[in-house]
Structure 1
Amino acid sequence: MTDSNADTTARVDVAEQAARAGATVAGDHFRRGIDVERKGGKTNVVTEADRESQRRVIAEIRETFPDDAVVGEEEDELKAVPDEGAAWVIDPIDGTNNYVRDIRAFATAVAAVVDGEPVASAIALPAMDDVYVADAETVYRNGTEVSVSDRTDPETGAATPTVWWDFDARDEYATACAEIVERFGDMRRFGSAQVTLAMIAEGALDATITNVACNPWDTVAGVHMVRNAGGTVTDLDGDRWRHDSTGLVVSNGSLHDEALAAARAIRAVADGDA
């Protein structure tokens, strides 16, 4: 095994260990009446479980990679992915609004990146007893290899809008829903981008769309999984998605044209062209 392969294997292992550790913290506090704080908007909430989980994730990473940069949603960690060097992108509880409502669709997400590109990731859903892990080539759910769906007919597909449109952009949110309803067989919304991406990677969902710029902690781990599982991830122009792209269009590949058309319709509304 080359040094590069050994390093990637180590990052896969640490990503899984860190995601499991953070998810344990989140799971221990779940449905226990933890206090909820607001970070700005009415729906932008945080709990002490978010902070405690992030600290635990970082502690796990630091044991093996003490000098790597950390990009994290909470506290004073970096908020952008560096284009050079090794870094970790973490979300201690993705889906905090679900979490505080006692809804089980939330996850701890951890991704390892090198020179801005993900090389390993893990997403742990403690309330559902599911852990997804992506190495350099493959995705596993609870140790079993998974892949995107093989659906080719959009009328049999299930898609979802993801991330969030604030109250001054509800016309964009409405367009996202309408486009999915008109183009696909059914629509879902789970309130967690990382949970959604894991579901696409395992073939349970077929596509997800947004026209907004996404935070890296909401996306990088799951994007790596979808790609390794055989799916397609682009920006609104159909170019390969990066952590600093605007818009996120994800599909099983076969249905990507439909997903891309739906996402572009949202952009048209946002730009005043529709």
Structure 2
Amino acid sequence: MPESDLDLLIDAAREAGRIARRYFRRDPGIWHKPGDAGPVTEADIAVNDMLKAELCTARPDYGWLSEETPDDAARLDASRAFIVDPIDGTRAFIDGDTSFAHSLAIASGGAVTAAVVYLPMKDALYAASAEGPSTLNGQPIRASGRSVAEGATLLATKPNLSSEHWRGGAPPPFERKFRASIAWRLCLVAEGRFDAMLTLRPTWEWDVAAGDLIARRAGARVTNRLGNAIRYNAPDPKAAGVIAAPGPLWQSLRNGLAE
């Protein structure tokens, strides 16, 4: 059995990747969640079932929060909780796009203490603990040193740059880019391949918990859209948006947003 929480998440993420590869581009069963909550596939459920069995067996006193498991309020009484998105970027997975990810985190006292984001089709494993550096396939990574908005690359969907969200009716002069997985967007900021990421709508904890720690341990500042630290394993497990960027660039984003 892995000794540390981070080792446990790494082993589980790699096993999740082995399962996802078996379904990828092989016409898995697809259905839609109630309330227009998006699609889910056989692969999502198979990965979720494995992760819940393996992780909760290894740490039976930890709570469990996952996109593909009905929420159980018992997690609120646990000192630590797993926060899991079995496949972040399900639509990309369905489309045969390799940019989907497995997002696994452990939270304690409202903060993430161990995190892994794994893209199995790219064999890219991002990891961090609360005490150590962020890594990509075992090598340390660092957020960019970009301090000004002009020319900076921003990972965001187009609606986030609509005029109503910004003071004066226009966002700073970013170069907008997009990747399907929110968890991977945060990791790409951690890696310094892109300068910042932004999402303004309420965002599920399982989409951002792992990427939050990885980006922060790589030197980025990560908050909700109001500038506050995101508290995890909350009764209502949604963040009020996410801003992630190096400090001065984060301040530029935050200052530009309309209240």
TM bracket, shorter-chain basis = 0.7 to 0.9
What residue in structure 1 maps to residue 5 of structure 2?
A: 11
Are 2:223 and 2:229, in contact at CA under 8 Å, matched by a contact in 1? yes
Aligned pairs for 1:31-46 within 5 A: 31-40=25-34, 44-46=38-40
Count of matched residue pairs: 251
Moved over 6 A (4+): 176-179
Aligned pairs for 1:1-274 within 5 A: 10-40=4-34, 44-78=38-72, 82=76, 85-136=79-130, 137-161=132-156, 174-175=162-163, 182-243=171-232, 244-262=238-256, 264-265=257-258, 268=259
**Normalization by structure 1: what TM-score?**
0.82
| Distance across 2 between alignment mates of 1:74 and 1:101 | 20
Q: Is there any run of 5+ residues in structure 1 with no aligned partner, and where?
A: 1-6, 269-274
Give the superposition deviation at 1:49: 0.4
Q: 1:22 is aligned with what amino acid?
A: A
Percentage of pairs with the same residue = 28
Q: Is there any run of 5+ residues in structure 2 with no aligned partner, and where?
A: 233-237
| Distance across 2 between alignment mates of 1:81 and 1:124 | 24
| Distance across 2 between alignment mates of 1:225 and 1:83 | 26
What residue in structure 2 maps to residue 272 of structure 1?
A: none
Are 1:208 and 1:259, in contact at CA under 8 Å, matched by a contact in 2? no
Q: Secondary structure at the match of 1:112?
A: strand
CA 1:65/1:81 → structure 2, altered by over 3 Å: closer, same or farther?
Answer: closer
Q: Secondary structure at the match of 1:98?
A: helix
**Normalization by structure 2: what TM-score?**
0.87
| Distance across 1 between alignment mates of 2:98 and 2:4 | 30
